[in-house]
Amino acid sequence: MYKTCNNKRNLWQKGFLGLILAVTLLLGACMTPDDYGRGPADNDIGGMGSGAPDGPEAGTTAELEDGPESDHRVEMEPDSPSAFAADEDAVEEGTESIGFGELQRMFPETVVYRGPDNVKRVALTFDDGPDPRFTPDILDILEENDVNATFFVMGARAKGNPELLDRIDREGHVIGNHTYWHPNLDGETVGQLRWEIEETDNIINNIVGYRPALFRPPYGNFGSAHTESLASYEESAVFWTVDTRDWDGPPADEIINTVTEETGNGSIILMHDGSHWTVDMSNTVEALGPVIESLKDDGYEFVTIPELLQIRAKK
């Protein structure tokens, strides 16, 4: 009698465990990339930190000393100057920058910094262009390797280099918004943020025919009120998983090592196709081909941000 009951108990336990396993597998099969890519951050990942170069004040014209930009400064001026930049005393709650790991926990449907970790897909992203010194070479390398990337462009540079923005679009890459003059948005009003986004959106739309739904704040500095604004417009704040810090001038080998050592499934890789005219980004150009080759050898597929995260590219 005892043996028979024990056997029944064992059969019941096995059946129950089997049911749990079946439910777990079913839920896993039903999960979307969003479920994997938008989970809470393991730590409070922040922006570029104090070592990042200074940007102009929001809404103001950048100093264009020397370099090609100084020759066509007038063309790069915004069509509609910001009405918010003059109010230096404006203070709004929630505009102080917080780590984007924390922002992702607060706004899981708006803030992203990595994709699904169950597939070997990664996204290359480039900031601060289009820059005629480096963007053409980067586009050539991407084309040679049959890779599409996501470019977060400055409104001023897009307006000053429309042929480059058009080429980015024609060659199948995705365009995102990176503000007009690349200011530090820490403490800036939501009104100023909207001016940065809308002025840049208008420039992009005039050139390629659409307004991006993707936004990346300069230096990764962003507050909760800023993020609420993006959420209300159904825009996405796109941060990164791997920071090459190529803007700081590391040698190409260091950039390659950083990417190959830190990249995993779903990584969003931050690089730059532009910078201040005193900064040489040639090491990024030199590193890009080997980075792509190495990651492809490891079995990774390169996709754009919308493909990686199943989010919209256009408004």
- What residues are annotated to the active site? 127, 272
- Cα separation, 69 vs 73, in Å, equals 6
What's the distance, CA 251 to chain centroid?
Answer: 23
Contact yes or no for 95/187 (Cβ under 8 A) = yes
Instruction: Please tell me the distance from the alpha carbon of residue 131 to that of residue 246, in angstroms, as a whole number.
Output: 15
Helix (H) or strand (E) holding 213: none
| Residue type present at position 3 | K
β-pair type (301-302, 150-153): unpaired
Taking the C-alpha atoms of residue 142 and residue 134, their distance in angstroms, rounded to an integer, is 13
Task: Give the Cα separation of 292 and 302 in Å (integer).
Answer: 8
Q: What is the DSSP string of 237-258?
A: EE--SEE--GGG---HHHHHHH
d(CA 111, CA 113): 7
| Residues 305 and 269: beta-carbon distance below 8 Å | no
CA distances from 53 to 103, 171, 182, 245, 287 (A): 23, 31, 11, 11, 22
CB-CB contact of 135 with 153 (8 Å):
no
